[in-house]
Amino acid sequence: MSMASATDATLVHPGGSPETEEKAFGFWIYLMSDAIIFALLFMTYLVMFGNTAGGPEAKDVFSLERAAAETFLLLMSSTTFGMASIAAARADRERVVMWLVVTVALGLGFIFLEFSEFRGMIAEGAGPSRSGFLSAFFTLVGTHGLHVSIGLIWIVTMLAQIGMKGLSVPVLSRLYRLGLFWHFLDIIWVAIFSIVYLPGLL
Amino acid sequence: MDASGLPTERSAAPYLFGLALALILTAVPFGVVYFDFLQNSTTLIVIAFFAVAQILVHLRFFLHIGFDSTPTENLVVMAFAIVLMCIMVGGSLWIMFDLDWRMMVQG
């Protein structure tokens, strides 16, 4: 069977091959190592939290409303990606595309809010070079934002592949790993608002 | 998560249930910080509790991790990563804050 022309029958009863299984497992190992990187960035942030060098403190630069909006956008995008996964399991190509487009829109909203937050902070003189606290903040939250940006590029790439190849087995395998990545980023964000924004605004 | 490495979940129910739980588990800590009616130490405990709960909800309902369905090797890798994170984060915090305290005493 040609991988590129999987019929609906293969999708109604989706079965993995050793190849898709290995790729998913390898990607899972990558995600766990990425989680360790984030854990160390969180640790650095906690150590640096009090080192403001006479500059702005967390209270002065964070906004609860913005953090809530970012949280909401990312949570909704995680859910809409889930809807795309369901549509993929049901071999419903149109709905996969629709939900992925919604996911991209929500993700772009998140990146826009984060970008404007960073730009505003730097304009106020609270850039990453101001203090150890701000260096650690920009490194941690910026690394997550970079992951989300790469995820968005990946989603757009998958939209193009779905357009060209349809829901073939290799495309579904990539879509599955992209889903793991996207849901994983939302988990990291839960840790970010619980360790950075909420305690910072107390 | 099953072993296939392909999207197999065909029901929206887990995602919508996860979304509802996640919204509640987000609203409570944000609300506690916004209205600021607890002592700071209590608020921090509330935030930590709801964060752990929400991460478990995401793992269960978005990543579909279950002791029955998820391949053992995936669970082992995750458990190993969690152990490493605890050692590295816990150990580093212990060392750094102990050092901080010693510097205070001396200085």
Say if residue B28 is in the same domain as residue B50. yes
ipTM associated with this complex: 0.94
Say if residue B10 is in the same domain as residue B50. yes
Say if residue B57 is in the same domain as residue B75. no
CB contact under 8 A, A28 and B96: no
Structural domain total, chain B: 2
What does the pLDDT average to over A49-61? 94
Say if residue B59 is in the same domain as residue B79. no
Residues on chain B touching A202 (C-beta within 8 angstroms): 33, 36, 40, 43-44
Say if residue B16 is in the same domain as residue B48. yes
Residues on chain B touching A179 (C-beta within 8 angstroms): 7
CA distance A27 to chain B (A): 10
> Average per-residue pLDDT in chain A?
93
Say if residue B42 is in the same domain as residue B79. no
Please say if the pLDDT value at position A7 is more than 80.
Answer: no
- What pLDDT was estimated at residue A4? 43
What does the pLDDT average to over B6-24? 95
- What pLDDT was estimated at residue B105? 79
Tens of pLDDT, residues B1-13: 888 899 999 999 9
Please say if the pLDDT value at position B74 is more than 60.
Answer: yes
What does the pLDDT average to over A53-57? 94
What chain A holds in terms of domains, given with CATH numbers, is 20-48+72-200 (1.20.120.80)
Say if residue B82 is in the same domain as residue B46. no
pTM of the model: 0.92
Question: Which chain B residue is nearest to residue A174, measuring alpha carbons?
Answer: B6
Please say if the pLDDT value at position A8 is more than 80.
Answer: no
Say if residue B52 is in the same domain as residue B85. no
Say if residue B75 is in the same domain as residue B45. no
Number of A–B residue contacts, CB under 8 Å: 150
Say if residue B49 is in the same domain as residue B16. yes
Domain containing B53: what range? Answer: 1-70
How would DSSP label each residue in chain A?
Answer: --GGG--HHHHHS----HHHHHHHHHHHHHHHHHHHHHHHHHHHHHHHTT--TTS--HHHH--HHHHHHHHHHHHHHHHHHHHHHHHHHTT-HHHHHHHHHHHHHHHHHHHHHHHHHHHHHHHTT-STTS-HHHHHHHHHHHHHHHHHHHHHHHHHHHHHHHHHH-S-HHHHHHHHHHHHHHHHHHHHHHHHIIIIIHHHT-
What does the pLDDT average to over A54-73? 96
Say if residue B84 is in the same domain as residue B98. yes
**Confidence band, pLDDT 50/70/90 cuts, at residue A13:** very low
Residue among A24, A71, A195 minimizing CB distance to B5: A24
- What pLDDT was estimated at residue A16? 78
Say if residue B77 is in the same domain as residue B64. no
